[in-house]
Amino acid sequence: MAIDFPGLSPASSAGNRGKVSDQQSSTPSGAAGQPATTPERGERADTVRISDTAQALQRSSVDSSDNGGVDSDRVARIRAAIEDGSYQINNERIADSMLELDSLLGE
């Protein structure tokens, strides 16, 4: 997998590729993988910028993970009905829904 680094030519970025373990062992680190010291004069600190699209996806993922629009009371009722054998399957309703979906996809 190739990673593009803005501002670097392909030749110079290719020379910087290596195993993660090689990169980590060459960088001094303090507790929890944080740099032990601040960058020296003339060196730049590494920065990461997450795009607005990625941030929106992250927010939607967090929002949907709360309950995901699932009615947990209904799920509990259906689960109990399946376990006690009283859950009734409506074959005609399932068939109608499948035919409706097929007609939507077929056009």
Per-residue model confidence as pLDDT tens digits over 60-86: 776 665 666 788 899 999 999 999 999
Query: Could you tell me if residue 83 is inside a domain?
Result: yes
Number of structural domains (the chain) is: 1
Q: Is 29 helix (H, G, I), strand (E, B) or coil?
A: strand
Query: Could you tell me if residue 92 is inside a domain?
Result: yes
Task: Look up residue 96 and give its two tokens.
Answer: 């109608």
Query: Could you tell me if residue 61 is inside a domain?
Result: no
What are residue 29's DSSP bridge partners?
Answer: 35
Query: Could you tell me if residue 49 is inside a domain?
Result: no
pTM, full prediction: 0.32
Give the mean model confidence (pLDDT) for residues 26-50.
66
The Cα–Cα gap between 75 and 85 comes to: 15
Query: Could you tell me if residue 38 is inside a domain?
Result: no
Query: Could you tell me if residue 82 is inside a domain?
Result: yes
Residues spanned by the domain of 98: 71-106
